[in-house]
Amino acid sequence: MDFQSLIENRKKILKPTTTVVTNTSGEKYEISDGVVRNLGIKVTPFVVDNKPNLKIDLIIPGLFISSQDPVYNLDILESHGIKNILSLGINPEVKFPDINYYYVDILDLPEFDLFKVLNECIKIIHENISENILVHCNAGVSRSPTIVLGYLMACKKLSYTQAYDFVKNIRYIRPNDGFVNKLKNIKPKDLPQLN
């Protein structure tokens, strides 16, 4: 059976649903069985955040965390002595010549296979922490904290709760539920042994 046939067969067993969508003008629409119906309701449209979050937080000596915004500001990076950047799911379009860049593709989805990339990220951090490494994702709330928590668990031998509480006292974080469950259930032997 080809892929398209599989999709069509799966569609046949899905429960019918109704979705309400708000467009950028604030108009609400209902979509049901492929039919779009304007609900005649207008609400405040979503707000595009045009104000960058330029805050970089020091977690432990040499290890920093942020959103993607500081990555584009050389003055801020230099003020923190950042020589290495680990980008998670967001590959910066602008790269400065005196900074080493690492990119790891991570989707901020509970079902994403975190173990596929966690040890690679931990090793990148450990190899570069002596020269200051900034770990960032889009907002610096889920993916980058997840990797930093994994690093603290491997390097400092902390439990998930200890690592979470430590980072939470420094920065607002909210790893997605799938990442949290994976980190809570990881065995120390599955993390890299760091010297």
Residue 14 has pLDDT above 60, yes or no: yes
155 as an active site residue: the answer is no
SS (H, E, C) the chain: CCHHHHHHHHHHHCCCCEEEEECCCCEEEEEECCEEEEEEEECCCCCCCCCCCCCEEEEECCEEEECCHHHHCHHHHHHCCCCEEEEECCCCCCCCCCCEEEEECCCCCCCCCCHHHHHHHHHHHHHHHHHCEEEECCCCCCHHHHHHHHHHHHHCCCCHHHHHHHHHCCCCCCCCHHHHHHHHHCCHHHCCCCC
Residue 48 has pLDDT above 80, yes or no: no
Q: What percent of the chain has pLDDT over 70?
A: 96
Of 88, 137, 147, 183, which residue is the catalytic one?
137
What's this model's pTM, rounded to 2 decimal places?
Answer: 0.74
Q: Convert the pLDDT of each residue in 160-195 to its tens digit.
A: 999 999 999 999 999 999 999 999 998 878 887 776
Mean pLDDT of the chain: 89
| pLDDT for 88 | 96
